[in-house]
């Protein structure tokens, strides 16, 4: 039997789940839910998605009335679903909880922020790309005009830095993306606790596409990502994906060790010509040599630590796209 390439069929009317993580979002929920429901209804009417599609709000241990609002929405309209985490676990974990729940019911899942900074009207284009055969559709900001110069600068620097460290990450893409069920199934095999979705999703592979959109300003409430959280997030991203910082130590060790040999020669010449005080040569020589050797050793130990790190993450070693085989 041939495993028929799915992307050659014309499909429509599959089930879409919108996953929305919410942390203290009582100020935006009424408006957000109204706009998302409107969007979903339109898509159902045109037959783009099935009537079983839902909007799933994930309450990430909010301290305000967020969960009460979600309960109310669910009571009034079955289009709204809710998932409540036992406590605040942070954006990435809340998102994962929502995605893993939604994949049990949906053919495709789109994640987006509760503040609707990401343009809701891009959703149709996400779904169209999905029907065209993409398992992952990345939402990419076409401009950052509404962000402050500081946020823009730091964010762009971060993407460039990550890429320089060899991490496969999509430029200007936050967590606004569509994933098919099989892409989510593959994602669930990544069991790491320090989760950085933007880095993991490209690792999953499968055909993907990009949809660009304008980013708006948060229409109510405050950002839940203060500078401290943003820095921690960036640091997490780097240390979960790259052992290059460790390799840097090794190279630094090599450079200093080589420099120490040159230093030693220079010191010996100085000593031969009698330009030094007693003990200077031995003292300086040992400081440089020992420093270089120590850094080098640290780097080598670091390489092993990096290997252990990769092992304990137990990432899947491969994910199968399709199999052609005529055995039953
Ligand atoms: N969020 C969350 N848990 C947290 C912090 C944030 O679920 O601990 C959610 C938040 O409700 C929002 C999304 O993550 O839906 C993005 O947060 P925000 O819009 O405040 O970030 P920004 O757009 O300012 O980077
Ligand atoms: Mg936001």
Whole-number Å distance, alpha carbon 299 to ligand 1 midpoint, is 37
Question: What integer pLDDT is reported at residue 9 of this predicted model?
Answer: 54
**13/47 Cα distance (integer angstroms):** 5
The CATH class for the domain spanning 16-241+315-324 reads: alpha beta
Residues having CB within 6 Å of any atom of ligand 1 = 21-23, 25, 60, 88, 90-91, 94, 113-115, 117, 223-225
Whole-number Å distance, alpha carbon 300 to ligand 1 midpoint, is 39
Which DSSP letter does residue 21 get? E
Q: Consecutive 10-residue runs of the chain (328 residues): their mean pLDDT?
A: 47 91 94 94 92 95 94 94 94 95 96 91 94 94 77 82 85 91 94 87 92 85 81 84 87 90 87 80 84 89 90 89 84
> Looking at the CA of 226, which ligand is closest?
1
Question: What integer pLDDT is reported at residue 1 of this predicted model?
Answer: 36
**What atom of ligand 1 comes closest to residue 224's alpha carbon?**
20
**67/22 Cα distance (integer angstroms):** 9
Extended strands (E) in 52-195: 54-59, 80-84, 108-111, 136-141, 177-180
Residues 6+ apart with CB under 8 A from 108: 14, 15, 16, 17, 127, 130, 178, 179, 180, 181
Residues 6+ apart with CB under 8 A from 230: 154
Q: Where are the domains of the chain?
A: 16-241+315-324
Question: What integer pLDDT is reported at residue 4 of this predicted model?
Answer: 45
- Match 């450079």 to its residue by tokens: 255
Pocket test for ligand 1, best of 92, 113, 219 (most atoms within 8 A of CB): 113
**What atom of ligand 1 comes closest to residue 223's alpha carbon?**
20
Element (H, E) at 199: helix 197-204
Question: What integer pLDDT is reported at residue 10 of this predicted model?
Answer: 56
């Amino acid at each position: 039997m041939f495993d028929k390439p799915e992307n050659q069929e014309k499909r429509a009317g599959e089930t879409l789940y919108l996953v929305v993580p919410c942390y203290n979002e009582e100020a935006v929920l009424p408006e957000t839910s109204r706009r998302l429901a409107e969007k979903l209804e339109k898509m159902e009417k045109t037959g783009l998605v099935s009537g079983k599609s839902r909007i799933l709000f994930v309450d990430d241990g909010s301290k305000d009335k967020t969960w009460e609002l979600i309960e109310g929405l669910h009571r009034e309209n079955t289009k709204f679903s809710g998932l409540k985490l036992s406590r605040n676990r942070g954006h990435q974990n809340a998102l994962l909880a929502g995605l893993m729940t939604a994949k049990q019911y949906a053919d495709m899942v789109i994640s987006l922020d509760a503040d609707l900074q990401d343009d809701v009207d891009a959703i149709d284009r996400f779904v169209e790309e999905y029907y065209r055969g993409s398992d992952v559709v990345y939402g990419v900001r076409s401009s950052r005009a509404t962000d402050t110069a500081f946020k823009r600068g730091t964010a762009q620097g971060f993407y460039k830095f990550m890429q320089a460290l060899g991490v496969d990450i999509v430029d200007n893409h936050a967590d606004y993306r569509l994933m098919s069920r099989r892409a989510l199934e593959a994602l669930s095999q990544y069991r790491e606790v320090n989760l950085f979705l933007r880095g993991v999703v490209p690792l999953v592979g499968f055909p993907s596409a990009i949809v660009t959109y304008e980013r708006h300003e948060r229409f109510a409430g405050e950002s839940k990502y203060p500078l401290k959280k943003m820095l921690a997030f960036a640091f997490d991203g780097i240390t979960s994906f790259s052992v290059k910082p460790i390799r840097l130590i090794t190279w630094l060790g090599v450079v200093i060790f080589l420099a120490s040999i040159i230093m030693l020669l220079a010191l010996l010449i100085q000593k031969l010509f009698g330009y030094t005080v007693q003990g200077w040569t031995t003292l300086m020589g040992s400081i440089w040599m020992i420093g270089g050797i120590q850094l080098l050793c640290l780097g080598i130990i670091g390489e092993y630590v990096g290997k252990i790190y990769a092992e304990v993450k137990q990432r899947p070693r491969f994910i199968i796209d399709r199999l052609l085989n005529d055995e039953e």
